[in-house]
Structure formats: C-alpha cells, structure tokens
Amino acid sequence: MMKAIEYTEYGSPEVLHLTEVTKPAQKDNEILIRVRATSITVGDLWARNFKEISPRNFSMPLLLWLPARMFFGISKPRISILGSEFAGDVEAVGRDVTRFKAGDSVFGYRGQSMGANAEYLCMPEDGMVTIKPINMTYEEAATVPYGALTALNLLRKVNVQAGQKVLILGASGGIGSAAVQLAKYFGAEATGVCSTAGLDFVRSLGADKVIDYTREDFSKNGETYDLIFDIVRKSSFAQCKDSLKSGGVYLLASFKMKQLFQMLWTSVRGGMRVVCALSAEKPGDLDFIRELVKAGKFRSIIDKCYPLEQTAEAHRYAEMEGKKGKVAITLGV
Ligand SMILES: NC(=O)c1ccc[n+]([C@@H]2O[C@H](COP(=O)([O-])OP(=O)(O)OC[C@H]3O[C@@H](n4cnc5c(N)ncnc54)[C@H](OP(=O)(O)O)[C@@H]3O)[C@@H](O)[C@H]2O)c1
C-alpha cells in the first residue's frame, strides 16, 4: 500500500484527503518511481472542481469543453489522484527497460492522466520522464515540466528569433514564467506583464522589463513587439494591434471560437497574425529543458512547499492571486 491524496467528489480543497491505496506495479516497459516531490498546477485546480467550470468560463472553445468534461468525469471525478508533475527515484524497472536503472533520480510529466500526488507511480520508459538535473532539488524539478513544455511548444510554433521583442501576459504563472526564460534563451528581449506581487519574481527570471497590469496598460505605452504571447486571454487582438510591429504575431494559449476565426482570417489576409496553439509535447522536449537547467539557463523558483498531508492547504494557496513562484508538495527523502 502507499499514501496518496484522493478525491471522490468535485469541490473546494476540502474534498482532497489523505488515504492509503494499492501501490502500483511496473509493467515490462515501465519504471516504478518513488515520488519525492510533486506540484500544484492550474490543471489540478480545474480537475478538482471541474463541475463548476461552465463552457463560458472554460478557457477553450465549447468543442473542447465537452471532451474535457467527459475525460474528467461528468458528475464525479474519473481520476481520483491529482498531480501532473513529479520528481523522484526509480525504485524498480520492468524487464524490457534499458534507459533507466534502480536508483536513478528522475523527473517528468503525466499531463491529464495525473496521479503524482502519491508515494509511487509508474511511467513507460519512453514516456515524459528523464534524468533529473543534479543542480535542482526534487521540489524544483517537480515544478518544471508543465510550464516549460507548454511554453517551449507554443514559442516554437511561432519561431521566436534572436533580437525580437516579446511581451508575455501572465508572466508570473506556470507557463508565463517559463516563457520569459525561454524567450531570453532564444535571444529575444522579454517584457513580462503581471500584478504588483509578481514583479520581483518575473524580474528574477531574467525579464528585461516588467509591467504591472494593475498600474499600466501595456497597449497604451507606445512600445511595439514582434510577439505578444497572451497566456490567460486577458487582452484582445483589437487592443494589441497598435502594440504589434508590422508582421507581428499575437499568440494565444487560451482562446475561443472568436480567436480561431481571427487566426483563419489573418492567415488569409497576411500582415499581423493571430495564432491559437495547443501544446503537443514530446519526450525529447523534456531532455531539451533538462539541458537548459543543467546549463543554468532555466530555473524554477518555489514560492511555497507543503508536505503531502497538507495538499488541500497547498491548493488553497495556489488558488490565491499574486504568484511569486511555484507551489510544490514534498514527500520527504
Ligand atoms: N494552449 C495550450 O496548449 C495550453 C496548455 C496548458 C494550459 N493552457 C492555458 O493556460 C492557462 C493557464 O496558464 P498558467 O498555468 O500559466 O496559469 P497560472 O499559473 O494561473 O498563471 C496565470 C498568471 O496570469 C497572471 N494574470 C492574471 N491576470 C492578468 C492580466 N490581466 N495580465 C497579465 N497577467 C495576468 C496571474 O498573475 P496575478 O495572480 O499576479 O494576477 C498569474 O500569475 C489556462 O487558460 C489554460 O487553458 C493552454
């Protein structure tokens, strides 16, 4: 048996409770990982309370809300253990595994299949899992994959180039904090937009400039950008037009049908483009991020860390506004 945080009904953080469940056993192509740290992402917060997410406040088009609702469960959760990111140690390997051995420290991403808020999990050796960089703690490594993989995929779709000016809306969040660092890595000048509380955090990630959206409207300061990356759909194409250079790109991580039509229209018309993109990460992307971490080009800053037993408290904290880093869950060493 193993400890895990389970939930059997949708709701506020109180639905999360510590329990004992059957320890998984690895298949021939899988590794069994003793989880040392996991995290809270927006995906965990949504999955915990998906019943309250109507098509209107869902961040994607209605066509994607229905499959998401069916995936997470119509009236009660279909997956009982949350947690998409993890770092830990390989405890055992299946008979066909060649990439890993017992004792390896690894980190990885389970995406929507979740299950990392537990002492053990299994991953296929060719899944989204790789060796943990030694210059990161388990907690830091467990807060890297979601934001880094999503930001990397979306920035690659618009081919960010050295010397470009990039504006990131939502720079203090999971994806935005990675986008700031990756834009810098690709040689762009990065400006991060967030609230007052997150300004120092975003600066510490290497942003060349920061804008506090509670005090300044980025679209009225006369600056122009090659790329405006809006992660949380807090702007509109109409608002951004004067802030985009000619041929500039307005990239959206969250979008509705309206933005999809704008993408179609701007791709036909030419000039400034709207791009709505979904991340489709591959295992090689995690190795790419690991190399950036090893080279000191990518880091993760923990705002707060909670023991597994206090996962409900961690959800409460993660739901508050004004992020100053990641929320990690530690399972001890
Ligand atoms: N396209 C894809 O493949 C894909 C994949 C995963 C997720 N997503 C989307 O990404 C979104 C979640 O991103 P995330 O995980 O980075 O969220 P997150 O961690 O909650 O971060 C969102 C950030 O946005 C900031 N923010 C709020 N209002 C803002 C404003 N008006 N201007 C600028 N920043 C503002 C918040 O800062 P304050 O708290 O300081 O206000 C917060 O730090 C969801 O909508 C999800 O649908 C897309």
Give the number of residues written for the chain.
333
DSSP 235-260: S-HHHHGGGEEEEEEEEESS--HHHH
- Output the CA 71–ligand 1 centroid distance in Å: 22
Task: State the pLDDT at residue 312.
Answer: 98
In this prediction, residues 243-248 reach a mean pLDDT of: 96
> Residue of the nearest CA to atom 43 in ligand 1?
173
Q: Of 175, 199, 300, which is best to mutate to test ligand 1, by the most ligand atoms within 8 angstroms of its C-beta?
A: 175
Instruction: Look up the pTM and report it.
Output: 0.96
Say yes or no: CB of residue 217 within 6 Å of ligand 1. no
Give the H or E element holding residue 306.
strand 302-307
pLDDT digits (tens, 9 = 90+) for 269-280: 989 999 999 999
Say yes or no: CB of residue 150 within 6 Å of ligand 1. yes
Q: What is the mean pLDDT of the chain?
A: 96
Q: Which two tokens stand for residue 88?
A: 């830990």
Please report how the helices 283-294 and 145-157 are oriented relative to each other, as an axis angle in degrees rounded to 10. Answer: 110
Residue 114 binned pLDDT confidence (cut-offs 50, 70, 90)? very high
Please report how the helices 174-185 and 145-157 are oriented relative to each other, as an axis angle in degrees rounded to 10. Answer: 50
Q: Which of 193-202, 214-223, 283-292, 316-325 has the lowest mean pLDDT?
A: 316-325
| SS3 of residue 99 by DSSP | coil
Say yes or no: CB of residue 32 within 6 Å of ligand 1. no
In this prediction, residues 37-45 reach a mean pLDDT of: 97
Task: State the pLDDT at residue 283.
Answer: 85
> Residue of the nearest CA to atom 48 in ligand 1?
253
